[in-house]
Amino acid sequence: MNVQAPAKLNLTLKILNRRPDGYHELETIIAALALSDRITISQSGAPGHLEFQCNEPDLPIDESNLVVKAVTAFRKATAIPTGLKITLVKNIPHGAGLGGGSSDAAATLLALNKMHDSPLSKLQLSEIAASLGSDVPFFLTGGLALCHGRGEKVTPMTEPIPDWSLLLIKPPFGISTPWAYQSYAKTHNDTAHATPVQKLDDWNLFNDLEAPVFSKYLPLAELKGWLRQQPEVRAAMMSGSGSTIFAILGNGCASEDFRQRVVQRYGDTFWVMPTTLDTKDRRH
């Protein structure tokens, strides 16, 4: 079985408060992207067997990988030990704020459930997904959603999905999500200025994690500032806890010319990827 695991962007990210459990209460609009990882799953070997391969040598393929965690959680919840071979082809960089690992976990859960004729209900899948990571439940439905709690309470949005041309730009360093939230908690106070909003069509785009992340990672602030000055760019913002900055380009603009200009300025250690939002509805 072949499944796609899409990346995501946070179009808004509002931090409401720090919770007693250390997480932050959020209100965030998340949109899935056309850019995706690919996962191939087949039955293989004796019960309990797992052969897991990944084309990205930097990613651990042991129990710390979210795909392996998803398999373990599925087996525990269903007591179905089918032997498996799983191959993961990464297109989404990690430490990028694009939800790649979370999406791989959700796609693995969905594929295993389908492969075994749906032993788990949607609610059970959501609970397992939330135990794997705050972003994982979003990827069970994808599309466009308003997420609350630590991000795991997902309400699909009925608004049409914008047909924006996007350029994703990630410098050669990633950002640790726990560090970004800790940094927000340390630097934020009630007198701090509200995060500036970029208005685009009917959207108010903003990300409360930009200020704490930009205060340490100055190249990200420079990149966003430069992007916003370019005539092709309608809006530019960091996704999640970074380090990806995304640019929303004007309709009909020559995105290949613009991509080349970005590569020329930032060099080939920056990852630069054109994409769009994912218009496919994955609910089933």
| Shortest Å, Cβ 109 to ligand C5P | 15
Which residues ranging from 132 to 161 are in contact with ligand C5P (CB under 6 A)?
A: 133-135, 150-151
Question: Residues 52-71 vs ligand C5P: string with x where CB under 6 A?
Answer: --------------------
Q: Which residues contact 225 (CB under 8 A, 6 or more apart)?
A: none
Name residue 148's beta-bridge partners: 153
Query: Is 281 one of the catalytic residues?
Result: no
| Shortest Å, Cβ 176 to ligand C5P | 8
Closest residue by Cα to residue 94 from 14, 160, 172? 172
Verify binding: residue 26, ligand C5P, rule CB under 6 A: yes
| Shortest Å, Cβ 102 to ligand C5P | 7
Query: Smaller CB distance to ligand C5P: residue 69 or 259?
Result: 69
| Shortest Å, Cβ 75 to ligand C5P | 21
Query: Smaller CB distance to ligand C5P: residue 118 or 215?
Result: 215
Query: Smaller CB distance to ligand C5P: residue 62 or 257?
Result: 62
Q: Which of 37, 104, 135, 278 is catalytic?
A: 135
3-state secondary structure labels for all residues of 250-261: CCCCCHHHHHHH
| Shortest Å, Cβ 73 to ligand C5P | 14
Which residues ranging from 168 to 207 are in contact with ligand C5P (CB under 6 A)?
A: 177-178, 181
Terminal C-alpha separation, the chain: 16
Dihedral (C-alpha) 283, 166, 255, 38: value to the nearest 10 degrees? -50
Verify binding: residue 240, ligand C5P, rule CB under 6 A: no
In the set 14, 23, 91, 221, which binds ligand C5P (CB under 6 A)?
Answer: 23
For the stretch 114-118, contacts whose Cβ atoms lie closer than 8 Å and that sit 24 or more positions apart, written own/partner, are 114/1, 115/1, 115/41, 115/43, 115/82, 116/78, 116/80, 116/82
Query: Smaller CB distance to ligand C5P: residue 124 or 177?
Result: 177
- Whose tokens are 């525990």? That residue is 76
Query: Smaller CB distance to ligand C5P: residue 43 or 176?
Result: 176
Number of Cβ within a 10 Å radius of residue 109? 27
Query: Is 8 one of the catalytic residues?
Result: yes
Q: Which residues contact 203 (CB under 8 A, 6 or more apart)?
A: 11, 12, 162
Q: Which of 8, 69, 90, 224 is catalytic?
A: 8
- Whose tokens are 């991000």? That residue is 151
Q: Contact at 8 Å (CB) between 198 and 237? A: yes
* Interacting residues toward ligand C5P by CB under 6 A: 23-24, 26, 133-135, 150-151, 177-178, 181
Residues annotated as catalytic are 8, 135
